[in-house]
Chain A
Amino acid sequence: MSDSIASDPKRRELEELLPFYANGRIADADKRRVEAALAADAELAARLDLIRDDMAETVLLNESLGAPSHRALEKLMAEIETAAGPAPLLARATDGMGRGFLGWLGSLLAGQPPRRLAYAGVAAAALIAFQGVAITSLALREGGGYQTASAPGARASERYVLLSFAPDAKAGDIASFFKRFDASVVDGPRANGFFKVRVGDASLSAAQVDAIAARMKSETAIVSFVAPSP
């Protein structure tokens, strides 16, 4: 069967715009041209119906593929930890003479008497130790070593909720939310965007977990769904 659209350059050009008309990613001027042509060309309109059918099935097919496991994020974060991250801003910063911050620091320290350097060293070491304790107590909930946000697995001796984050939630707010509730992610995100979150140990009653979930749920800027989870 001959393709009358394909053999007419003007109609063919409009036909090739139909998929982008159907997905809404078309310039306004092209959209108006396509709509005018569709109103007058039944064959073109039929072609758009085919595209919409195929589009719906393509979406269904892709949605059926599920989501990656948390292994992907864990692998990524482990690689980030082992690789050198982006150079810190201080290291990249240069002074007026083209020296990096570390170069500037080196020449500053070179000009100091040894005793002053020793005192400064002790003070810096104390500060670093203090920061280390503070950061470790915040970031590592169980034991030492690196952990991603999703811990290896859930245990029956703990209490959990299932939650999803609001699309507009800011990373900083999510972090302080977890800190406020003394909570941590144990699994997720799952295919539907849900995370399993530990909210306490087995000493919490079901009513207490419900109350925590209700308090969490009230923070609508951060979470969009919260429910107790086994």
Chain B
Amino acid sequence: MHTESDEDLVKRIASGDRLAMKVLFSRHQVRVYRFVLRLVRDETLAEDVISDVFMDLWRQADRFEARASVSTWLLAIARNKAWSLLRKRRDAELDEDYAESLEDESDGPEIVLQKQDKGLAIRACLQRLSAEHREVIDLVYYHETSVEEVARIVGIPENTVKTRLFHARKKLGEMLKAAGIDRGWP
């Protein structure tokens, strides 16, 4: 059975093949959408962003260089668009106190803890991390990206990727501890 690679699809897209565009969209839309939704926290905005991301791909397909995977390329475009939106909404300050003060529909970690569900408490804290920490956690834990790929998507040096992830994990542990779950670190 032959698998048509993402790179082959991008070549077809570069020649104006709409069907290839639909196939590539179907293949990547869910992950790109979730990545954006975790940043912008608005489903309609996230859908608009992914349409824009794939429109960029349509326009720039002939400039795609196979140095990065298509998936990394899409996430990098999506990340730029999501952060641009965040900046416009003035949500983007990398001030964790500000990020934590954002309204969230889910239960807070303290309330979740009362329900005696550690998993739910972790997820509640994951929701409350700053956007900067959320994206690096999501990229590594959910999108299964390497150090190099995170660096390319976020636009930071590889060492900064590791340091930022360390601080995101530490922050998550501190939030859990504040909610009454001491995991021994930090």
Q: Identify whether the interface residues of B are mostly helix, strand, loop, or mixed.
A: helix
Binds B, one of A16-24, A104-112, A154-162, A201-209: A16-24
The residues of A that contact B162 with a CB separation of less than 8 Å are 16-17
Interface residue total, chain B, C-beta cutoff 8 A: 63
A118 is an interface residue with CB less than 8 A from chain B: no
How far does the alpha carbon of A115 sit from the alpha carbon of B176 in the complex, in Å?
84
* Given A67-B29, A168-B3, A171-B9, A58-B51 contact (CB < 8 Å): no
Q: How large is the interface on A (under 10, 10 to 19, 20 to 34, 35 or more residues)?
A: 35 or more
How far does the alpha carbon of A47 sit from the alpha carbon of B4 in the complex, in Å?
40
* CB-based contact B141/A59 at 8 Å: yes
* CB-based contact A62/B173 at 8 Å: no
The residues of A that contact B34 with a CB separation of less than 8 Å are 62, 65
B65 to chain A, nearest CB (A): 16
Tell me which residues from 1 to 45 in chain A have a Cβ below 8 Å from any Cβ of chain B. 1, 3, 15-17, 19-20, 23-26
Chain A residue at minimum C-beta to C-beta distance from B137: A58
- 8 new A-B contacts, CB < 8 A, other than A46-B184, A80-B18, are A17-B162, A54-B172, A73-B29, A76-B21, A80-B21, A166-B1, A168-B1, A168-B2
- Name B's A-contacting residues (CB within 8 A): 1-4, 9, 12-23, 25-26, 29-30, 33-34, 37-38, 43, 46-48, 50-51, 54-55, 58-59, 61-62, 119, 122-123, 126-127, 137-138, 140-142, 144-147, 149, 162-163, 165-166, 169, 172-173, 183-186
For the complex of A and B, the 7 pairs showing the least CB-CB separation, nearest first, are A58-B141, A25-B146, A16-B162, A57-B122, A168-B3, A72-B47, A55-B141
